[in-house]
Chain A
């Protein structure tokens, strides 16, 4: 909302030279942020001049050398505009003038002295949309009555200030000059002036109708509050006694709660007077003609959007209904729109003539030849308007409908439009109104106590200060007998206020948030908890030399399935920003792999990454057993890591291989307490994106919780290793407490054992057999050598173990040791056909 201070002054007695920055800051302190506060024309050293002489520049084919009378003297200016000529009154920027885009300095232009610049409107910083065709071409031509030596900005009525507010969505009331007047009035202790709604009503024969008695009666019965009441025919048209207009209304949807129509005859279409145009422009709206401008002007004043129809193009009726699917309507911007059953449409019984709350129709718009006008002011369902405008067009009107409207203002806007059409378009307002009204126009009453307020704010604000806030806001109140309860009467313009808490907010912001000191809560002491496991994992990975990443969850469709078995559906965004970020990743590794590529393209080859993050997929649902289920989304918490290039650095670098990342994995699992409970399994569930000979599933308690391996060389020719653990699955497996286990005080014996087995036999399997055959006396067995080649038959390998044997309660005898070793070797022979190697 752009607030023009000149416009505001129509309704509020403000100091002539009010400091707009101070005003903007004060508004901010009560919750109304602003984006900018500046002069409407932000230029200095401008003066009205008259071109007394204009000659072609001797050394140029388009420049002119002009003598310009600026009152105090005549100066020479070189001007390039095609329309500069002798006798013209112009805007002159003198030496030292600061314009929005440039600074003016005395200069010599091709040998001719130039003491300033003759300005176009654009050079003053006016938006292009406000320029006439002539103004787009050259310098601005002032009217003959412009005073030489005078201030052109003042003369044009553009000496205004504009504050661009970014309002909160609940304060629809502030999308109006009146609303702003109440808000600023609260800050400066000023009362809002009454809006002029007076006009004459005529009968069909053009004779003035005397409604005085009816108005008097209506005013007496009126329930409205504040100073907006008892003004012209306002209360009369709200009342049951309102004279009827011969104009049919069919409201066939519950999405319209209020619809008013009045008719104004014999309007004369012309340019708007300056005082209307300048305020529209300062408010960011392009003037068109007096009638159209009035509809915009009244919307700015009251916050109620209006629509004017050319009455002679309607069939003396209006119908409001939901559009038919695929119904067509050409809006007044000339575009054909296709509607749905969710759009509210205005019809004249024969065809659609407007898209309610968003834009009028092309066929019935006001044109140069319009004589008679139907004024529409209405309230349409805000959610429906919002939907339609999001789809079709956001407009000043839709913005106001979306935020909700005050029905009293809907009536006021109607009368204000009548007043202005009479005043500026010389129209005759036809007596009577057609109306459909399901709204409640009574003020809300909210009970509140001083305790209520202080309890929430944590303050000790005195009752009189609280009452003072309500008075400043223009809220009336009653105090109940017991003196405790304050009944606040909230004017209907404040649609944002409906409960006690809303009033507490009002007290807080007007009393001044800065006047409420912060306090330290006194609450029972307790220990706060957090997810320590995640932090421990993070620290472990960090200590193992991996860099933590924070990658995007959104990837493209193909990436989403990388490093999975590709048997699950990915979850897609309905309206993504780009295809590259349109699907939720199914593995965290896919994002790490992208990060690897990102770094590789920047010549960083040594990459060790990890991430604790989530991945997602859509669960298959058995349609036979389950009713339609779109809710089956699975979100998994994972640890992923990726390693490539150097791991140990220094003189003897070591590059990452399968066993490095396996080591990292085991280290994490051991640290989490799963020592001895995991294995690396090679089976059909391996991922196709991994090297088939260098990958495995990670199994804990015989349940697969992750994968490990080299990225398939068909995808990536560099040796890149990845690992992913599903932490939801893993951490669900209980781990016992860390406990001391007694170690033996007796000496143990270490024996080496080398066996030749088939190449396919996994070391892990041999270890299992050694372990089960070694029994209690086997303390430990480690692989220390792997050998193939000379002396070992083709297809076989020699694998050597260091075995430690001992007992807690004695030193073992030679016989006992031999017995254990024999059992182990026999076991290996039996299971794997292993040959003992001497």
Chain B
């Protein structure tokens, strides 16, 4: 009996050695260990043995069974690993093939400039406000101390709809709206970015363009030209770089008195003279001044009690400088090859 078990075991171990796949392994398992397997068959004959021999034979059979099982399990694990590796190998892909992508989105350079300015000024406590683009003559001009027939209206050739309605030529139109809307006549600190329109179209002017307007009003004595100067220095250095210099030139705008035009040191040549600045080293960029007492008065602020400053600048040129855009028309043509370049986070 003992010899028979040993023989079966040796035969099983020999067969196990030759197994190379899981299927064979399963059939070997059944052949030796299954319900109808060879070792099971021996156990079934135990009944014919004398009672005192049974435990001994049982032990022999079980230990053979265990040895075979162990070998089988060991092999099974190995084979499974191999099979998995094979499977994964067969699934290998080319990781360098293109990914599934949603088409690129982008943010227009002018909105990027506007957002940047909004972020700067809101951080200084300014509110961003807006107003209608189809404006009344009253708000676009008259309430800004520019009565009908005023020669300064020539500076801004307007698109009139009727004698009383006009596409706003300047975001300054919102100045009067903000002052009137503030019924409590409390201090004002606002900027107004937005679209503006003038009746001109050439290589350097677009009939539709963008401006930002700033207005600060507070109790008389609190806001001065020096404050305006300080504010515009922060603004321009933020937009154009810390080495930017500003030059204030006395000028004339009907809605401010005193009035100043502001030049910045040329952002291309840094002041040494180039084509962009027509060899002057300076680029005219902003209009500014102290709010004219007539404007305060017309819009409900007592000029004896309040004073303030206002400034305005075109954004198209700022965007062109910032992103190295050489032709203003690119901003409005919306060629997808242009737009798609503005597709990422901007430092």
Identify the A interface with B (CB < 8 A).
28-31, 33, 168-171, 382-384, 386-387, 402-403, 455-459, 496, 499, 501-502, 504-505, 508-509, 513-514, 516-521, 523-531, 535, 538-539, 541-554, 571-577, 581, 584, 595, 598-599, 602, 604, 606-609, 613-614, 616, 630-631, 633, 635, 646-652
Contacts and interface: CB of A to CB of B under 8 A. Distances in A.
A528 B126 contact: yes
Interface of B: 97-108, 110-111, 115, 118, 121-128, 130, 132-134, 148-152, 154-155, 159-162, 164-165, 167, 187, 189, 195, 197, 199-201, 207-208, 216, 218, 220-227, 229-234, 246-252, 257-261, 290, 292-293, 307, 331-337, 339-340, 342
Given A457-B225, A548-B107, A550-B332, 14 more contacts: A31-B249, A31-B251, A455-B221, A505-B250, A505-B259, A521-B222, A523-B125, A542-B106, A547-B105, A548-B339, A598-B334, A608-B105, A609-B336, A616-B134
Contacts of B250: 30-31, 505, 508-509, 513
A456 B221 CA distance: 7
Given A517-B226, A547-B106, A651-B97, A171 B130 contact: no
A598 B339 CA distance: 13
A508 B225 CA distance: 9
Contact of B122 (A384, A520, A528, A613): A528
Given A383-B149, A456-B258, A548-B111, A607 B336 contact: yes
A458 B226 CA distance: 5
Nearest to A647: B103
Nearest to B100: A650
Given A528-B127, A647-B102, A521 B231 contact: yes
B334 A551 contact: yes
A548 B108 contact: yes
B273 to A, nearest CB: 13
Contact of A550 (B110, B148, B151, B199): B110
A529 B123 CA distance: 9
Given A458-B227, A573-B161, A501 B293 contact: yes
Contacts of A651: 97-98, 100
Contact of B195 (A538, A553, A630): A553
13 contacts: A170-B252, A455-B307, A456-B258, A501-B257, A501-B293, A508-B258, A518-B231, A529-B122, A544-B105, A548-B107, A553-B208, A584-B134, A649-B98
A607 to B, nearest CB: 6
B154 A169 contact: yes
Contact of B230 (A31, A382, A520, A526): A520
A28 B105 contact: no
Nearest to A403: B151
Contact of A456 (B99, B224, B259): B224
A647 B199 CA distance: 39
Contact of A33 (B108, B148, B249): B249
B103 A530 contact: no
B148 A171 contact: no
A528 B225 contact: no
Nearest to A496: B252
Shortest Cβ-Cβ A-B pairs, 5 listed: A458-B226, A458-B224, A528-B122, A383-B149, A31-B250
A228 B100 CA distance: 84
Given A528-B124, A541-B105, A604-B336, A513 B260 contact: yes
Among A501, A508, A543, A651, the one with the most B-chain Cβ atoms within 10 Å of its Cβ is A501
B224 A519 contact: yes
Contacts of A168: 251-252
B189 A523 contact: yes
Contact of B104 (A384, A528, A545): A545
Contact of B105 (A170, A545, A606, A614): A545
Contacts of A496: 252
Contact of B290 (A28, A501, A545): A501
A547 B118 CA distance: 21
Contact of B226 (A516, A535, A614): A516
Contacts of B101: 648-650
B149 A386 contact: yes
B137 to A, nearest CB: 12
A535 B115 contact: yes
Given A31-B250, A529-B122, A649-B98, A519 B161 contact: no
A703 to B, nearest CB: 23
B13 to A, nearest CB: 49
Contact of A604 (B111, B199, B234, B337): B337
B189 to A, nearest CB: 7
A609 B107 CA distance: 10
Contacts of A614: 133, 195
A832 to B, nearest CB: 36
Contacts of A521: 216, 222-223, 227, 230-231
Contacts of B225: 456-459, 508, 516
A581 B207 contact: yes
Nearest to B151: A169
Contacts of B150: 383
Given A456-B290, A519-B226, A554-B207, A646 B233 contact: no
B242 to A, nearest CB: 14
A633 B134 contact: yes
A613 B229 CA distance: 33
A545 B224 contact: no
Contacts of B201: 577, 581
B151 to A, nearest CB: 4
Nearest to A509: B250
Nearest to B163: A574
A743 to B, nearest CB: 29
Nearest to B115: A535
A574 B100 contact: no
Contacts of A543: 105
Nearest to B319: A550
A28 B99 contact: no
Given A31-B252, A508-B225, A545 B102 contact: yes
Among B102, B155, B232, the one with the most A-chain Cβ atoms within 10 Å of its Cβ is B102
B152 A169 contact: yes
Contacts of A383: 148-150
B174 to A, nearest CB: 13
Nearest to B109: A550
